[in-house]
Structure 1
Amino acid sequence: MGAWGGSLRRRRVSTRLGVSLLLAAVVLAACGGGDNVPSEAGGSGAPSGGSATPSATPSAPVADPERAVDPPGPLEGRLWAADIMIYGQTSLTPEQVAAIKALDGVDAVEVFSLSQVSIENQVLTVAAVNPTTYRHFNPVATAQEIDVWTRIAGGELALPPETAATVADDEDFVKLGNDKDAPRIHIGVYAAQVPRVDMVVNSAWGKELGMVEDNAMLVSTGMTSPQAMREPLRAIIGKGSSIQDLDAVARYGLDPDAQQTAILTGGSVAQAVGSFNYRVLDGGRIAPDQAWVQANIRTEEVPILGRVTCHKAMLPQLRAAMTEILTRGLADKINRNQYAGCYYPRFIANTQQLSLHSFGIAVDLNVAGNQRGTVGEMDRTVVEIFKKWGFAWGGDWAWTDPMHFEMNAVVKVG
């Protein structure tokens, strides 16, 4: 249950998002966002009417001046279909970008930053973008609604309402990462997103989060099949990056033929864990890159639990927590027979989202009495000991998971 079972929490998002957010949500829903406009100039033709309709003058205030970028202004020029997404653990070089632009079958590209943040054991993808240019590759209604891009430029977050329902706090903020000191960002607007993107922020927020700059690209291929472009793109970017057919993503949730990449961001824990490529297997399992597994995953003895398999960055803190629990006479509060594991390379059940168990930095304890959505029976002194040693507790979440503890800070041991 704690690692990947149960459903995401279903609580109503607060209505205090403001008139502009609600107005934009209604506009986007009414426009039926989700389909991109086909590309022109060697592609499949221009949008209806020949060009995108310019939006009205922006009215949204700058919510976060310290993390604001230049406002986008009215939409100018045409929209492009987001056919392929490229992303990897390192920045695309100017030479790679130029070579991709020059390929036959490539009509347009957009370079941006892409990473993942963990929020209550969901690993969600966040894009840090230039609002003026990235909007041209978005679903039509999203691209045309200027309030979306003005609010992103002003330092706020854009995401679909169904995602907000699982991650927003009572003040309509989202904590970008599970790290204890991860920053919080205000939700500015609901909007449909490009496939494989859960949330959008501006480039200033990308720097705040320490995201790898320009490690992702959207490619519009017009009449050319995205599958036909896979090998020419691979020849330019090499084997280390992911090439996603976004039509397959829209249909299946991910491109089953593509290598996937997990790039955590949001604080010192993400830096300690590192990033890895992986392949999707049957039954919701994944196969992380063996080089990352060999460098980071260890099987060691810890008090009470015995042999555990976890990330090497977490093991000293887990050992310290279990040692203190033992020395304080609380060993009977941990049922060794109900330890449900640490490193589990797979998706959360019935989703295509990774959990922190896939990175080996979470443990599930006393499973029987601590099911998802309950108060649970976890001893509160044990909880406080875990928090002391750099762990967050799932019992504190809005949709509780009291068996679950995850590393949320790097704590020096010894």
Structure 2
Amino acid sequence: MAHRYQVRTGDMLAEIARDSYGTAPLTRKLADYNGITNPNLLRVGEYLELPARLVLAPPAAVPAASGALQPPHSLEGIIATFGDIRRHIRDDGHLNPAWETGHLATAPIPFAIPLSWDRTRRVQGIYCHKLLAPLVSDLFRAIQQEGLQEQITTFGGCFNCRPKRQSNKLSTHSWGIAIDLNPETNRQGSPGDMSGELVALFKRYGFAWGGTWSGRNKDPMHFQFCTGY
């Protein structure tokens, strides 16, 4: 069960990792999970997410169902697979457009989905990381073939360079590797009503589901192509 820890004066991340997991070597993974670039610099008063040990150190990666692309684990794995977007965020907080041009593409999907913020508009392509685009197209074809199309009522977005809600670390949406569906009835912190069949299909394609997270982090609208972050 994940929980939150508020940093106090004198705290060291290695000590927090040892107290929480019984071993200091998970310090780097805990730093990555929280988007901390320097484990030796903690801000007093900030909150750290302390996930279950298996989240930081899983026994094996989850295989993707389509193609050779595998879901990366931890911030280090995301950067190795999809690039270090942090280097392209300007001092004003905006992303250099060159990164978007070089790393993103539109994955065509076989049916149109209304936008959650404007149901008069529909999308028939998902703007995501170019490495993920073929898998996303395959996934949505499988959704249609398995008769799950009607389980998707609205599209809440994919690429969006921003911090994670209730956190200072970058959201996986920043890399274009997360998809939000049916946000109206699957708000963060709620149990939601996401279709179990739809969740199972996303997992077959290597996506982790935010509905398994706990407390305020629970996010049943959210699917991300990575673990440990």
Task: Bin the TM-score by the shorter chain.
Answer: 0.5 to 0.7
3-state DSSP class of the match of 2:90? strand
3-state DSSP class of the match of 2:157? coil
2:36 pairs with one of 114, 117, 125: 125
Which position in structure 1 is the counterpart of 2:182? 366
Which position in structure 1 is the counterpart of 2:99? 292
3-state DSSP class of the match of 1:309? strand
Which position in structure 1 is the counterpart of 2:119? none
Whichever residue aligns with residue 300 of structure 1, its letter is A
Give the deviation of 1:12 after TM superposition: 6.3
Give the deviation of 1:379 after TM superposition: 0.6
Which position in structure 1 is the counterpart of 2:120? none
1:331 has 2:149 as partner? yes
Q: Distance in 2 between matches of 1:160 and 1:303?
A: 49
1:321 pairs with one of 135, 139, 163: 139
1:168 pairs with one of 19, 35, 51: 51
Judging changes above 3 Å, is the alpha-carbon distance between structure 1 residues 296 and 366 closer, same or farther for their aligned structure 2 residues?
same
1:341 has 2:221 as partner? no
Q: Distance in 1 between matches of 2:144 and 2:226?
A: 22
Judging changes above 3 Å, is the alpha-carbon distance between structure 1 residues 386 and 280 closer, same or farther for their aligned structure 2 residues?
farther
TM-score in terms of structure 1 length:
0.39
Q: Distance in 2 between matches of 1:362 and 1:346?
A: 12
Which position in structure 2 is the counterpart of 1:253? none
Q: Distance in 2 between matches of 1:64 and 1:380?
A: 36
Query: Please, which runs of 5 or more residues in structure 1 have no aligned partner?
Result: 1-8, 14-24, 35-59, 69-112, 129-133, 140-158, 183-208, 212-263, 410-414
3-state DSSP class of the match of 1:308? strand
Q: Distance in 1 between matches of 2:214 and 2:2?
A: 9
Give the deviation of 1:289 after TM superposition: 2.9
3-state DSSP class of the match of 2:174? helix
Which position in structure 1 is the counterpart of 2:116? none
Which position in structure 2 is the counterpart of 1:379? 195
2:90 pairs with one of 256, 261, 279: 279
Give the deviation of 1:355 after TM superposition: 0.6
Q: Is the 8 A contact 1:300 1:307 kept in 2?
A: yes
Judging changes above 3 Å, is the alpha-carbon distance between structure 1 residues 127 and 175 closer, same or farther for their aligned structure 2 residues?
farther
Give the deviation of 1:392 after TM superposition: 0.3
Judging changes above 3 Å, is the alpha-carbon distance between structure 1 residues 324 and 367 closer, same or farther for their aligned structure 2 residues?
same
TM-score in terms of structure 2 length:
0.66
1:310 has 2:128 as partner? yes
Q: Distance in 2 between matches of 1:127 and 1:324?
A: 42
3-state DSSP class of the match of 1:405? strand
Give the deviation of 1:403 after TM superposition: 0.3
Q: Distance in 1 between matches of 2:198 and 2:35?
A: 29
Give deviations 1:41-96, integer Å, cap 9, x for gaps: xxxxxxxxxxxxxxxxxxx9xx659x59xxxxxxxxxxxxxxxxxxxxxxxxxxxx
Judging changes above 3 Å, is the alpha-carbon distance between structure 1 residues 322 and 114 closer, same or farther for their aligned structure 2 residues?
closer
Give the deviation of 1:350 after TM superposition: 6.6
Q: Distance in 2 between matches of 1:11 and 1:320?
A: 35
Q: Distance in 2 between matches of 1:114 and 1:404?
A: 22
Q: Distance in 2 between matches of 1:10 and 1:115?
A: 12
Which position in structure 2 is the counterpart of 1:405? 223
3-state DSSP class of the match of 2:156? coil
Give the deviation of 1:288 after TM superposition: 2.1
Judging changes above 3 Å, is the alpha-carbon distance between structure 1 residues 366 and 292 closer, same or farther for their aligned structure 2 residues?
same
Judging changes above 3 Å, is the alpha-carbon distance between structure 1 residues 389 and 181 closer, same or farther for their aligned structure 2 residues?
same
Q: Is the 8 A contact 1:317 1:390 kept in 2?
A: no
Give deviations 1:118-145, integer Å, cap 9, x for gaps: x4xxx511546xxxxx7xxx79xxxxxx
Whichever residue aligns with residue 106 of structure 2, its letter is T
Which position in structure 1 is the counterpart of 2:16? none
Q: How does 1:25-64 map to 2 (within 5 A)?
A: 32-33=9-10
Whichever residue aligns with residue 110 of structure 2, its letter is P
Q: Is the 8 A contact 1:374 1:401 kept in 2?
A: yes
Whichever residue aligns with residue 125 of structure 1, its letter is I
3-state DSSP class of the match of 1:329? coil
Q: Is the 8 A contact 1:370 1:378 kept in 2?
A: yes
Give the deviation of 1:163 after TM superposition: 3.5
Q: Distance in 1 between matches of 2:91 and 2:96?
A: 11
Q: Distance in 1 between matches of 2:91 and 2:29?
A: 20
Q: Name the larger-Rg structure.
A: 1
Q: Distance in 1 between matches of 2:199 and 2:73?
A: 30
Which position in structure 2 is the counterpart of 1:181? 61
Q: Distance in 1 between matches of 2:167 and 2:51?
A: 19
Whichever residue aligns with residue 274 of structure 1, its letter is G
RMSD over aligned CA atoms reads: 4.1
Whichever residue aligns with residue 150 of structure 2, its letter is D
Query: How many residues are paired up?
Result: 192
